[in-house]
Amino acid sequence: MSSPLSRRHFFASLSAFGVASGPFADALFAQTQGGQTGRVTPEMVREACRLAGLSYSDAEQQGMVASLNRILVRADELHKAPPANDAPSPILFSPRVPGIPVSIPVREHRPGTAARQTRPAALDDLAFWSIPQLADLVRRRVVTSVELTEMYLRRLEQHNPVLNCVVNLTRERALTEAREMDRESAAGRYRGLLHGIPYGVKDIIAAKGTPTTWGAEPFKDRVIDEDAEVVRRLSAAGAVLVAKLTTGEFAFGDQWFGGRTNNPWLPSEGSSGSSAGSGAATAAGLVGFSLGSDTGGSILSPAVRCGVVGLRPTFGRVSRRGVMAAGWTLDKIGPICRTVEDCAIVLHAIAGPDGYDLAVAGDMPYAWDARESPKGRKVGVVQGILDLETDPAVRAGNDRAVAALAAAGIEMRPIEPPQSDITYFIEYIERAAGFEGVVHSGEDAGLRAQRVRNDLRAYHLVTAVDYLQANRERLRLMDEYARATRDVDVVISGPVTLNGATSLNPITSLTGHPSIAVPTGFRENGTPTGFTLTGRLYDEAGLMVVAREIESATGLGGRRPGRSVSP
């Protein structure tokens, strides 16, 4: 027998031989009543066993025929009406490991206070300001939310032809929300730091009144007429939605039905994915901040490529209600911003249970204290992981990051976490289940990327047994990772998946730990380099306290992309 992770879905493999198409209850009834042969024949079983890597004698294969025909009755019923992509599963994943307690420091939420800001002569100069800086102007009514919104809408229209990062503007909604925020400001009501701040969301996140396309041609006009939970929460915090930003088809890469989304620092290069538009728009100063999603690196990778800060929260920190499911035991929603503290502020607005996404923990509060010191923290380093990088500019950026941590009084400790290649195996099986209706209806024929179509179809052929066994292996890896990192607060996780170097990103995505990407420098061609760190479960704040030291030391906040997007 082959290993469990290499076998193919036994019953679905029968469809390749014409077995699993169309209703067959009548044929089965005739077989059971009159001894007629059912839809599955011994020859089909023999071929399916060969495909699945199963070794049975002819007699054993013959004995499976009747069982398979009975099982296919149930399978056919399921295939007639596959669950919608957003249908939740009662089988819940938790990143917690049995026997290993999870604890986080008790914090009071105290974001930093920006110095008193002066209105610039040209509003476009605000395009790259941080949330606290913008918030100071809005709170004091030195700049109105409508002015900010119109400025960002203008920049989105102006620079999108080069960056290709916008699917749809939400102009009418944005101006309505901005006017309301200005009315509230005039009446003395202030909702907090996000009051009147314009933002964009990755276009797998539903927003009422505008298409949610998932980056796919077949759905370019499809409207999910409700707000995702994260959009609802940001609206409640006073933020103003200005755009649905691009994602690769079904959240694969940076290629969508409108083409490729480009890196503001070098538009001849893609922005990476799949939160492609969120990374590009934030880096180019087209939004105050943005939201992305991350299943296996889709926040971290475009953040590194575009030179911004991307936070992948702990699995179960943020509700995914109203968001396309790529892998329901892996998906996380998180902010892409220009600073670490901006990410901390946005996460505070969107974190917490909603009673719908049952994976969201209700006993792990989140707060950010801007005055918290990183001194005394311990950072784990995998021996040799940074030495595997071959790009001199990236290596130089890594050295700057490590030096910044050491200068902050942070202790470095060697660790040996496990490595695994089952992350994407689990993810793609869950994708196949989530998009079963698209595959069965033939709508996947409208996808542009052949690889996406092939993957969605191929992973239907993995057995349910293999999926369950992979998740049991997952728990073993979670336990090993927890034990390997129990004496450190943060882990240097290396690159995302860039340059072919080894990375801890796949394993930490699998375990559900929070990770953050921060810029570290630039290459000779002007493109950014970045660094990723991983924190303890549910301790995003502690992770960001450490990441902020790298941000402060590198001093990259003032750098902006070239003339194509600068004011």
Which of 332, 282, 266, 286 has the alpha carbon at shortest distance from 511? 332
The single-letter code of the amino acid at 297 is G
Whether 274 sits among the annotated catalytic residues: the reply is yes
Could you say which DSSP state residue 315 is in? T
CA 239 to CA 553: how far, in whole Å?
A: 30
- Cα 269 to its chain centre, rounded Å, is 21
CA 239 to CA 358: how far, in whole Å?
A: 26
Could you say which DSSP state residue 163 is in? H
Q: Which of 274, 275, 293, 503 is catalytic?
A: 274
Q: By the 8 A CB rule, do 314 and 95 touch?
A: yes
Give 177-216 as a DSSP string.
Answer: HHHHHHHHHHTT----TTTT-EEEEETTB--TTSB--TT-
Q: Which of 298, 319, 509, 515 is catalytic?
A: 298
Identify the bridge partners of residue 262 per DSSP, sorted by sequence position.
270
CA 5 to CA 2: how far, in whole Å?
A: 8
Read off the tokens for 465: 């047994």
Which of 261, 254, 242, 248 has the alpha carbon at shortest distance from 214? 248
Contacts of 26 (CB under 8 A, 6+ apart): none
Q: Which of 13, 130, 145, 202 is catalytic?
A: 202
What's phi and psi for 415, nearest 5 deg?
Answer: -135, 160
Could you say which DSSP state residue 545 is in? H
Residues forming the active site: 202, 274, 298
